[in-house]
Amino acid sequence: MWKQNFTALQTIVRREWIRIIRIWVQTLIPPVITMALYFLIFGELVGRQIGKIGDFTYIEFIVPGLIMMSVITNSYNNVVSSFFSSKFQKNIEELLVSPTSPYTIVLGYTFGGVVRGLFVGILVTLTSLFFTNLQFQHPFIILLTVMLTSILFSLGGFFNALFAKKFDDVTIIPTFILTPLTYLGGVFYSVKNLPEFWQTISYLNPILYMVNLFRYGFIGITDVNLYFSLGFILFLSIVIFLLNVRLMKIGYGIRN
């Protein structure tokens, strides 16, 4: 049985990779162009007016957050659009009638999202080198953070796709929840510069911990506790994974 599920997992991930590459003009190029504009406008033009944050230029401070923003968005969007399309086109029924376990289905789509998130993250990182010299003070933290974050938001995209009943439902969470949380997650500022009340509110934002972890990997500064942040991301990932598996087992959003 495990061999069948491993083969199914490979097939799902390979299909997602082929899908990403086949429509690369839609999946890979837009986030790179968008982030290049962020680097130019916020990093170069606005950054000159702001000056330094601590010992770092403004663009050095925001680049890790912008890379993380692209990873979050693309991991999430890849899974929610792919899985919902399978639901809409009834392709998911082929998996449901096969011996493939719900765990394998969730993992397959999640890894597909991780592939796109990491690929876009690499492209955006390379693009940022045209605007600033990146530091890599803690490479292991960078790799661990980007992997856990892309897994978490891929799982979030799967969860959204399960509940979505029409194409409009696919865009509600990214537009009204994910985007505001990302912009308010410390990408463009240090949370320590906020008034005490808004600092407290900011600490309720999970994206704040991911951005700061990622920033620590590059330039060695953070506004949050590293171990708590890693544990928090891992905990959320496990909870959403188990919830997705449970919903798949009962067929929520698929069989009804």
The pLDDT of residue 127 is: 95
Contact 151, 114 (CB under 8 A): yes
Residue in the structure block whose two tokens are 């490979």: 10
**Residue 247: enclosing H or E segment and its boundaries?**
helix 226-250
| CA separation for the pair 64, 30 (Å, rounded) | 18
The pLDDT of residue 1 is: 67
| CA separation for the pair 136, 116 (Å, rounded) | 22
How far, in Å, are 91, 112, 248 from residue 97 at the CA level?
11, 21, 13
Contact 187, 65 (CB under 8 A): yes
The pLDDT of residue 33 is: 95
The pLDDT of residue 118 is: 96
Blockwise average pLDDT, block size 10, the chain, 256 residues: 82 92 91 93 80 84 94 95 88 80 94 96 95 91 96 96 87 87 88 87 92 95 93 96 94 75
The pLDDT of residue 256 is: 57
Angle at which helices 139-163 and 102-128 cross, to 10°: 130
Tokens found for residue 199: 């600092």
| CA separation for the pair 21, 16 (Å, rounded) | 9
Tokens found for residue 121: 């993250």
| CA separation for the pair 118, 114 (Å, rounded) | 6
Q: φ and ψ at 97, to 5 degrees?
A: -85, -5
| CA separation for the pair 171, 238 (Å, rounded) | 24
Q: pTM score > 0.85 for this model?
A: yes
